[in-house]
Structure 1
Amino acid sequence: MSGEILSQSEIDALLSAISTGEMDAEELKKEDTERKVKVYDFKRALRFSKDQIRSLTRIHDNFARLLTTYFSAQLRTYIHISVASVDQLPYEEFIRSIPKMTVLNIFEVQPLEGRVVMEVNPNIAYAMMDRVMGGIGTGVNKIDNLTEIETRIMSGLFEKSLESYREAWQSIEDIEPVMNEFEVNPQFIQMVSPNETVIVISLNTQVGETSGMINLCIPHVVLEPVIPKLSVHYWMQSERKEPNPDEIEALQKRIQVAKIPILAELGSAEITFGEFMELQTGDVIQMDQTIRDPLVVKIGEKAKFIGQPGKLNKKLAVQIIDHYYRGDEDGE
């Protein structure tokens, strides 16, 4: 039986069917004990864990926010970009899923190997270009016959957006995105083999009244060197920085001249609040230790040593005789 949760009405119907003989309980048990076979498609090899997918989603959530700010400043109109989905699929499937004529920005992410594709829906791309050229931002799909000037404007607009991509990856890897190609026909690009696993990040994009998708295709070969950094353990670890020898020496000098309070405690006593209120000049409070017991020496508020009282150069002094140990005190 499947692992889904049944409603109360479904449970009642099942019990009724068993009691009337319409269903055989033994057959149900037999079905439950049979070995389950799960279909696995080797063309859709899952090479990224859910944990790594979540990390990639966080990175591109940040990218979507940065891209919204960038395009809002460039286009001076309403822009909203958010992550719609993050999936892993064969490269061939990604190519088949995008329009035959679209905007393809191919860029490197040095020092990582391989290239990344940013596919922009034609309506979105043309709405952006129309806005840059002084229009109201109307989305018209005429990508197949862009003029040289339009191509230059559009490629420049997306090339500058790569700075946002670099900033989004800073917490994981220092990358330098560099635009390589601007293409409109996906059949002309072949970055990896058709069955190679790629990560496709789909961004919902709203430009004024026009909406569409921006898709980022990242091949496995690009992400392979940084896969260990995409785990939750890496995100939770604090970044350890090797100390600078000069900084260590300067810190040691400051510590050596720092002043700390030292207190030699002669003893202590406990009295009631009533006794405290009745104290008069000349009253004597008896301590909880004798004059032969060693004194507790405190550094700040913490007991660190035991010592014995005496005189040095006609001044009261305390000689350290041992470390102080009591209960949870470790003497450190």
Structure 2
Amino acid sequence: MTEVLSQDEIDQLLTTISQGSGSSTEDIMRTPIEAKRNRSIKIYDFKRPDKFSKEQIRTVSIMHETFSRLASTSLSAQLRALVSVHVASVDQLTYEEFLRSIPNPTALSVINMDPLKGSAILEIDPSITFSIIDRLFGGTGESSKINRELTEIEVAVLGGIVVRLLSNMKEAWSQVIELRARLGQIETNPQFAQIVPPSEMVILVTMETKIEEIEGMMNFCIPYLTIEPIISKLSAQYWYASVRRGFTTENLTTLKEKLSRIHVDIVAEVGRIDVSMRDIMALKVGDLLRLPNTKASDSLILKIGDRSKFECRPGVVGKRVSVQITHKLEEIHSEEFNELIASDREDD
């Protein structure tokens, strides 16, 4: 069979001839051909097949980066401490390898991944687990080398934390599936958490977790059998298409309805005057305040919140005192609008 040389092999052949190595033409031609045949071969283990593509792993990483941000905020609020969670790695391995990589005892939460079939595992490092429990019991959450199983009370307390994290996970997965994750049970011995056969492939999301000065890992293990029904949705194209589909007419209508129920203070300002506290305390019914540099024919300033937005003139509509807007002073920027909404919520 005639061998066809690539451009790189042709360049290598010409370079060898120009250097005058003294070898025969046949030997020179044989060199690149043999190099091509002796290329390193990637070994494929049929007992440990790769079931997740790089794109799918990247999508899972993006999903759990969102989960990490939500979890950081949620745990910080509940523990009254600075909590940082971020994705360290996303790997595929066998379930047996995962069990061997975690300490014993530890906190293994078996998660029902409804509507997906099967379960997943959320493993929290003992240093993080006992720091959380210590803070919830009123302690400082300082690092202590505790190597024991959780008591029944500690399991119940940790269960509340896991349920809170699952609500964050539901939001992070919402672009792919309406996940209704539920806590099954909490195990401390990895050998008692056999949710799939040892040789089954899983995807492992490792998240570095830090509570003040305490550092540890939080691992989320999802078997391939559980995630297989939505594996086609774990692509960048589907992910970004889902994000764009989020801005629908229905959502915009809902947003407008919610905005229409927000109350903002509007004040028509006639004028301003500086008055001392002594004069204010001496005011009584019937006193007149003279507004300097203000004429009766001047326009009033209509203020939204503490911002002057419009010029207006006073009048009467029916039996009610009113103002008519005559001129716009400035645009309401989105940042200012958000501040108004936030202040209104605080008042409520």
- TM bracket (short chain): 0.5 to 0.7
Is 226-235 or 82-91 further displaced after alignment? Answer: 226-235
- Cα offset, 1:20, TM superposition: 7.8
For residues 132 and 143 of structure 1, the distance between their equivalents in structure 2, rounded to whole angstroms, comes to 19
Q: 1-side partners of 2:31 and 2:185: how far apart?
A: 59
Q: Supply the distance in 2 between the matched residues of 1:135 and 1:25 (Cα, whole angstroms).
A: 76
Q: Percent of aligned pairs with the same residue?
A: 39
Aligned ranges for residues 1-332 of structure 1 at < 5 Å?
28-34=31-37, 36=39, 37-142=41-146, 144-237=148-241, 238-239=244-245
| Paired residue type of 2:53 | S
Residue pair 1:103, 1:143 contacting (<8 A) in 2 also: no
One-letter identity of the residue aligned with 1:186: P
CA RMSD of aligned residues (A): 2.8
Using the size of structure 2 for normalisation, the TM-score is 0.61
Q: What displacement does 1:104 show?
A: 0.5
The SS at the match of 1:104 is: strand
Cα displacement string for residues 120-157 of structure 1 (whole angstroms, at most 9, x for unaligned residues): 11011111111111111123343524322222112222
User: Is the 8 Å Cα contact of residues 113 and 119 (structure 2) preserved in structure 1?
Assistant: yes
Q: Secondary structure at the match of 1:117?
A: strand
The whole-number CA distance in structure 1 between the counterparts of 2:20 and 2:52 is 47
SS class of match (1:176):
coil
Gaps of 5+ in 1: 1-13, 248-332
In 2, Cα distance between the equivalents of 1:155 and 1:52? 30
Please give the per-residue CA displacement for 1:6-50, whole angstroms capped at 9, x wherever unaligned.
xxxxxxxx99xx8789xx966752442215432111232111111
By how many angstroms is 1:243 displaced?
10
Partners in 1 of 2:20 and 2:66 — Cα distance? Answer: 57
Per-residue CA deviations over 1:145-175 (Å, capped at 9, x if unaligned) read: 4322222112222222110011110111001
TM-superposed CA distance for 1:87, in Å, is: 0.5
SS at match of 2:47: helix
Distance 2:92 2:135 in 1: 34
Task: Work out whether residues 101 and 184 of structure 1, in 8 Å CA contact, stay in contact via their aligned partners in 2.
Answer: yes
Q: Deviations over 1:237-271 (max 9, x none)?
A: 35399999xx9xxxxxxxxxxxxxxxxxxxxxxxx
Query: AA paired with 2:206?
Result: S
For 1:122 and 1:29, how far apart are their aligned partners in 2? 56
Deviation for aligned residue 1:88: 0.6
Deviations for 1:91-131, whole angstroms, at most 9, x for unmatched residues?
11111111121111111121111101001110111111111
Tell me which amino acid in the other structure corresponds to 2:122: M
Q: In structure 2, do the counterparts of structure 1 residues 210 and 243 end up closer, same or farther at CA, with 3 Å as the change threshold?
A: closer
Judged with a 3 Å threshold, the aligned counterparts in structure 2 of structure 1 residues 228 and 128 are, in CA distance, closer, same or farther, namely: same
Q: Radius of gyration: which is bigger?
A: 1
1:155-207 per-position Cα deviation (integer Å, ceiling 9, x unaligned): 22222211001111011100111100101110111111111110000001101
Match for 1:124: what amino acid? I
TM-score scaled by length of structure 1:
0.63
CA distance in 1, matches of 2:122, 2:20: 60
Partners of 1:243 and 1:129 in 2: how far apart? 45
Change in 2 beyond 3 A, CA 1:241/1:132:
closer
3-state SS of paired residue (2:129): helix
Q: Residues 223 and 145 of structure 1: is their aligned pair in 2 closer, same or farther, counting only changes over 3 Å?
A: closer
Q: Which runs of 5+ in 2 are unaligned?
A: 1-14, 254-348
